Chain A
Amino acid sequence: MINDNICMISDYEILPHTADLKIRAYGKNLEQVFSNMLKGMFESSHPEIVSKQPVTREIRISARGPLRRSFSEASGSALGGKSQNLESLLVDFLSEALYLSDVNNEAYFGVEFKKLTEKELDGEIKGEKIKGSQLEIKAVTWHDLEIKKEDKLWQATVLFDI
């Protein structure tokens, strides 16, 4: 009966795909859809959380250039050069978060932005220390990439290589 199952828009949902991981995230605004996609990406990897102690990492994608060159540690990440457009920005953001996760053994479930435009962002991702994930997300791809606003709701779709 149509009456019964009123669909609630979730933060994100996993769409069917034969070989990779396809996630669609929603949000009332741009910040929220970016945040929910980040959450979707890390939650789907089923990380094994080692400590509840929260960790934060800075992420910046802007024309200003890299923060600091460091081989052994990645305290934060700054990608030089602005992104081409909103889609590139999303891929860059998620790729940077993935990089920080791999290097620091952390998983991030939310983000607070100091700045978020179509081509630049500056924010802090928040998460926890992990000792591994059940599913290793290798990379963020550009396949079927989409981010748009429809009926007052932001929606983004990203395919991850796993």
Chain B
Amino acid sequence: MNLKKINDYLYEIPKSFRPDMRVPARVYADEVLLDQIFRDKSLEQLVNTTTLPGIVKYSLAMPDAHEGYGFCLTKDAKVMTSLGFYKKIIDFEKDWEGQNLKCFDFRRGIAESVQPIRFLKRKCNPSIYQIITLSREKIRATADHPFYTQKGMIPLKKIKEKEKIAIYPFKGVPYKKPSSEIIVSEKDIEKALLKLGRKPGQAGFDQNIRVLKKRNLLPLTYDHPKLPYLLKIMGFVFGDASMNFIGKRGDGIIHFVGKTEDLEEARKDLKKIGYTSSRIYERRNELKYKNKIKTYINHHFNVNAASLVILLEALRVPRGAKVSQAYRIPKWIFKAPLWQKRLFLASLFGCELRAPHRRLERKFGFNCPTFPMGKREELVNNAKMFLKDISRLLKEFGVYTSTINQRKRHVNTKGQVSYGLELIFSSRTENLINLWGKIGYEYNKERQLKAMVAVAYLKYKQKVLGTRKRAIDRSRLLRKRKVPYRKIYKKLCGPFISERFILDVVFKGDKKVAVKISPNFLTLEEFSAQAAKDLGRSGMVWDTIKKIEKIPFKGDVYDFTVNHPDHNFVANNFVVSNCIGGVAATDYEKGGVISPGGVGFDISCSVRLLTSGLDFEEVKSHLEKLADELNHTIPSGVGRGGKIKLDRETMDKVLADGLKALVPKGYATEEDMAHCEGGGSLEGADPLKVSDRAKTRGRDQLGTLGSGNHFCSLEKIDKIFNKEVADKLGLKLGQIVVMIHTGSRGVGHQVCTDWVRVFNSKISQWGIKLPDRELACAPINTPEGKGYFGAMCGAANFAVCNHQMITHLVRKVWDKVFGKKSQGLKLLYSVAHNIGKIEEHKIDGKKMKLIVHRKGATRAFPPGHPELPKDHQETGQVVLVPGSMGTASYVLVGTEKGKESFYSVCHGAGRAMSRHAAMRRVSGEAVVKELKSKGIIIKCRSFRGIAEEAPLAYKDIDAVVNIVDKAGLAKKVARLVPLAVIKGE
């Protein structure tokens, strides 16, 4: 995929990225934040938003919406591709596009193929970690690079020794660029056709050549992109498939037999070559055996394509019955690079070579793999030559065969005699590891999975054998020094080194001791049971980490970004990894939809700023008292109600009228209302569309903060970026301001829950298909769409009233502490960042009515916009971007250039770390202590919940705001730093 760079701060993901996208997706970010963007679900969510019916122009993501880590691998990390070869990551630098890497879908537990979106190269910080596992897998990566463990993807620095990590045991073979030598030319096809008795000028001649040319298959060279798939198909035809010309017209047909999942793979590969196959058929055969009838089910499909049969014949694939034909491994394969040979062999073995199976009489060994072949008596020598060809190919992989046996003699009904021959492979551990670890099986998923477990098992066995050998050598040495055997045992004992073992070695003296596996070693069954637990049928296996160490490093580090929800690929056998926050506008007139998921659960979660007439010097001695009073007065409302309990009638009024309902009671002024987004009272609010549940939940939550990242804080303006605008807004350096961040509490959560349920039940009726049910939506011109809109506005009205009641409490405390000295607190502005609004925007010169969904994004209208209060007409709409606890916050104003993002900007710093991770890294008390050392007071009911909100869990707010500023979407006006953070009682 080509990520389009619009400018230094804006990138676009084209519509072609995914087939269900209706519009492109855009991301505001710089190079650094761009890395983080692709690391998690935000990309997927952003792209999902583009599927909303009626969406206009593009869906947007703001820089703060992105979560994730920045992490890389060293240049020699071997990355596994889906064609079974690996390349060092540095070798991908020039041609990473279009490569197919192996990756895993953890949810479904399967292996898949994925293409990289980006290739990253960066200068590294001077330290790198190295992991070595029990099976001697090794990899070096940066501290933040996630690896897949039993707890999911965890960054390297968090992984401890003895923890289990997921590896993909398949080693594959190194990549070598194939030559451009021609294997099959047009002339070769003509020769093959003439041999078949076809004549030029006839239908069966020119037609076939034309078809092959149309599919770009001629000339077929070693570096032809379709050759890898042809090699796989060839292996199949040499095995369980067969091809021939049938009927009077000589129709070419290739017949494939196997298991459904494997046949599907073959069909996909044939499609890549350019041929369509029949569907998969099922055939049931009943066989009578000892008076019982057994039903055998087999699956097969065909390809009817004479041109393909001709091509394969020109490639020297046998046609017709194999038992009565002489043929060899095509000579040209011997000239192909190793990874191409591998594709042919793996596919052939997928048909003919049995899965790894245990020796019955030796618990820990495998039977010799055998490759069988049946041939007519008179062609037995040819069969032996063919098997020797295979042996020759195998040597290049380090796989050795021992003998060729001629076994069974069979006479058929026509009296023809044929023999069954076998090529026997060595069953030595190293041999098997090479066979299954480098070649493996294609078109046979079941066998490949068993092979992966077998490789892991054998490597583990090797390791234990190594331990035992070392124990033997060391005991001998110690014995020579006359150390008693009990002491030797104490020194060397381990899970596979028993006292009896040491005794045996010691008493054998100088006689040779064979290194054998310990009798208490795991059997294959025991190993399999644990090895792939929870890893489904992906082929991944758990390995235990032996050592993690930090090593000094100087140089570049690399990584891929891949297009897959689980964001991973395989490097050095390790499975490694590489939204909220979005704006989507749908067309109101043309069946555009409204989506509760595009708005968020905390409907109208908002931020407001109250300015005071006091500066830091005047307030500093009162800070502790002020913070205390505020904390006592403002309820958090979590688990216990607030101070206000609404009856049904008042609740309905609040939902319907917003601040208008509070003015008569003296809790809000007209001026307050003018300085709220939407005028403090959203039109279109309909209390009837808010469920009883939502109303019941919210009845005692008016005037409460809630938990999580909600807060009330005392801040100081410590930097002015734009004096002109700051003056007009009444902002001064050193001024004390109050920030409140909260939302619609249980009302909003319930409204969203209720309507998502309704929408999901109706979505098929409207013919809408969505990639994520959380995006459940309804066309705005349906009763349901209108219903949600009405309920959402109601919840937004509840939110602004909630804010206002808290403001009222803050004002009371302010007056109490400062009395006549202060002029009270003035509301600068209140903005929402989880809301859907019906707005008019000019799109391509045309005025359009849009439903703009801002989830984790803030509206930022430009100067002169009619919706702004009179005193902000010149400056543009005030935008408030709170940082995380203890970090800076920003005041910005909207600009005309914001038009390109539907006048929307970011809403905050955005999380960079999960709550769990934050809690593990730091304790609540430690955070409070650190903030205190910076002069910041935290007032809360308990320390739990503080760690999760620690600043280290959030992104760099300065970087986020800078992007918005540089992209021209809003202008920085002032920066605030916190003095006290109040979480409420």
A residues in contact (CB < 8 Å) with B: 1-3, 5-7, 14-19, 21, 46-48, 69-74, 77, 81, 84, 87-88, 91-92, 95, 99, 102-103, 105, 130-136, 138-146, 157, 161-162
Shortest CB-to-CB span from B597 to chain A, Å, is 8
Q: Are A48 and B708 in contact (CB under 8 A)?
A: no
Q: Are B696 and A71 in contact (CB under 8 A)?
A: yes
Stretch with Cβ within 8 A of A (4 or more), from B150-158, B554-562, B927-935: B150-158
Per-position 1/0 for B173-205, Cβ under 8 A of A: 000000000000000000000000000000000
Q: Are A15 and B697 in contact (CB under 8 A)?
A: no
Q: Are B942 and A134 in contact (CB under 8 A)?
A: yes
A105 — which chain B residues lie within 8 A by C-beta?
A: 639-640
Q: Are B151 and A16 in contact (CB under 8 A)?
A: yes
Q: Are B774 and A142 in contact (CB under 8 A)?
A: yes
Q: Are A19 and B749 in contact (CB under 8 A)?
A: no
Question: 26 A-B pairs, CB-CB below 8 angstroms?
Answer: A1-B134, A2-B527, A16-B916, A18-B67, A18-B911, A19-B914, A69-B692, A71-B692, A73-B696, A87-B773, A99-B696, A99-B697, A99-B750, A102-B746, A103-B697, A105-B640, A131-B639, A132-B639, A132-B941, A133-B638, A134-B942, A135-B944, A136-B706, A140-B753, A142-B776, A161-B601
A48 — which chain B residues lie within 8 A by C-beta?
A: 639
Q: Which of B150, B580, B753 has the most CB of A within 10 A?
A: B753
**10 additional A-B residue pairs with CB within 8 Å, beyond A133-B639, A143-B774:** A2-B530, A71-B696, A71-B699, A74-B693, A99-B750, A102-B697, A131-B639, A132-B639, A134-B945, A161-B601
> Is B633 interfacial (CB 8 A cutoff)?
no
Q: Which of A5, A70, A136, A157 contacts B708 (CB 8 A)?
A: A136
Measured in the bound complex, the distance between the Cα atoms of B422 and A124 in whole Å is 66
Q: Are B152 and A16 in contact (CB under 8 A)?
A: yes
Q: Are B601 and A139 in contact (CB under 8 A)?
A: yes
B residues in contact (CB < 8 Å) with A: 40-41, 67-68, 107, 134, 150-154, 164, 460, 495, 522, 527, 530-531, 533-534, 542, 544, 580, 597, 601-602, 636, 638-640, 647-648, 651, 692-693, 695-697, 699, 706-708, 746, 749-750, 752-753, 756-757, 760-761, 772-774, 776, 911-917, 941-942, 944-945, 948
Measured in the bound complex, the distance between the Cα atoms of B776 and A16 in whole Å is 25
Q: Are B638 and A3 in contact (CB under 8 A)?
A: no
Q: Are B638 and A136 in contact (CB under 8 A)?
A: yes
A138 — which chain B residues lie within 8 A by C-beta?
A: 601-602, 708, 749
B761 — which chain A residues lie within 8 A by C-beta?
A: 81, 84, 88
Known: A88-B760, A136-B708, A139-B752. A72 touches B639 (CB 8 A): no
Shortest CB-to-CB span from A21 to chain B, Å, is 7
Shortest CB-to-CB span from B455 to chain A, Å, is 15
Closest 4 CB pairs of A and B: A132-B639, A134-B944, A142-B773, A18-B67
Measured in the bound complex, the distance between the Cα atoms of B67 and A126 in whole Å is 37
Known: A71-B699, A139-B749. A2 touches B544 (CB 8 A): yes
Measured in the bound complex, the distance between the Cα atoms of B696 and A69 in whole Å is 10
Shortest CB-to-CB span from B155 to chain A, Å, is 10
Shortest CB-to-CB span from B71 to chain A, Å, is 14
Known: A2-B544, A140-B753. A131 touches B944 (CB 8 A): no
Quick one: closest A residue to B944, CB to CB? A134
Shortest CB-to-CB span from B791 to chain A, Å, is 14
A1 — which chain B residues lie within 8 A by C-beta?
A: 134, 495, 544
Quick one: closest A residue to B565, CB to CB? A144
Q: Are B944 and A2 in contact (CB under 8 A)?
A: no
Q: Which of A2, A18, A21, A144 contacts B460 (CB 8 A)?
A: A2
Q: Are B696 and A74 in contact (CB under 8 A)?
A: yes
Measured in the bound complex, the distance between the Cα atoms of B651 and A92 in whole Å is 25
Quick one: closest B residue to A84, CB to CB? B761
Measured in the bound complex, the distance between the Cα atoms of B916 and A30 in whole Å is 28
Q: Are B914 and A16 in contact (CB under 8 A)?
A: yes
Shortest CB-to-CB span from A81 to chain B, Å, is 7
Q: Are A135 and B707 in contact (CB under 8 A)?
A: yes
Shortest CB-to-CB span from A111 to chain B, Å, is 19
Q: Which of B527, B697, B776 has the most CB of A within 10 A?
A: B697
B760 — which chain A residues lie within 8 A by C-beta?
A: 84, 88, 142
Quick one: closest B residue to A79, CB to CB? B757
Quick one: closest A residue to B945, CB to CB? A134
Q: Are A132 and B638 in contact (CB under 8 A)?
A: yes
Q: Are B107 and A46 in contact (CB under 8 A)?
A: no
B639 — which chain A residues lie within 8 A by C-beta?
A: 47-48, 105, 130-133
Measured in the bound complex, the distance between the Cα atoms of B756 and A88 in whole Å is 10
Q: Are A92 and B757 in contact (CB under 8 A)?
A: yes
Q: Are A72 and B699 in contact (CB under 8 A)?
A: yes
A131 — which chain B residues lie within 8 A by C-beta?
A: 639-640
A133 — which chain B residues lie within 8 A by C-beta?
A: 638-639, 707
Known: A18-B912, A136-B706, A142-B774. A95 touches B753 (CB 8 A): yes
Known: A1-B495, A15-B152, A18-B912. A6 touches B530 (CB 8 A): yes
Shortest CB-to-CB span from A143 to chain B, Å, is 5
A14 — which chain B residues lie within 8 A by C-beta?
A: 916
Q: Are A2 and B531 in contact (CB under 8 A)?
A: yes
B533 — which chain A residues lie within 8 A by C-beta?
A: 7
A21 — which chain B residues lie within 8 A by C-beta?
A: 915
Shortest CB-to-CB span from A159 to chain B, Å, is 9
Shortest CB-to-CB span from B254 to chain A, Å, is 36
Measured in the bound complex, the distance between the Cα atoms of B639 and A135 in whole Å is 10
Measured in the bound complex, the distance between the Cα atoms of B637 and A138 in whole Å is 13
Shortest CB-to-CB span from A3 to chain B, Å, is 6
Quick one: closest A residue to B152, CB to CB? A16
Shortest CB-to-CB span from B616 to chain A, Å, is 33
B153 — which chain A residues lie within 8 A by C-beta?
A: 16
Q: Which of B647, B648, B914 has the most CB of A within 10 A?
A: B914
Measured in the bound complex, the distance between the Cα atoms of B760 and A81 in whole Å is 13
Measured in the bound complex, the distance between the Cα atoms of B701 and A99 in whole Å is 13
A134 — which chain B residues lie within 8 A by C-beta?
A: 707, 942, 944-945
A70 — which chain B residues lie within 8 A by C-beta?
A: 692, 696
Shortest CB-to-CB span from B625 to chain A, Å, is 25
Shortest CB-to-CB span from A100 to chain B, Å, is 9
Quick one: closest A residue to B776, CB to CB? A142
B912 — which chain A residues lie within 8 A by C-beta?
A: 18
Q: Are A162 and B915 in contact (CB under 8 A)?
A: yes
Quick one: closest A residue to B775, CB to CB? A142
Shortest CB-to-CB span from B395 to chain A, Å, is 33
Quick one: closest B residue to A4, CB to CB? B495
A74 — which chain B residues lie within 8 A by C-beta?
A: 693, 696
Q: Which of B134, B638, B772 contacts A143 (CB 8 A)?
A: B772
Quick one: closest A residue to B706, CB to CB? A136
Shortest CB-to-CB span from A139 to chain B, Å, is 4
B522 — which chain A residues lie within 8 A by C-beta?
A: 2-3
A143 — which chain B residues lie within 8 A by C-beta?
A: 41, 772, 774
Measured in the bound complex, the distance between the Cα atoms of B636 and A135 in whole Å is 12
Quick one: closest A residue to B646, CB to CB? A71
Shortest CB-to-CB span from A57 to chain B, Å, is 13
Quick one: closest A residue to B763, CB to CB? A84
A46 — which chain B residues lie within 8 A by C-beta?
A: 944
B41 — which chain A residues lie within 8 A by C-beta?
A: 143
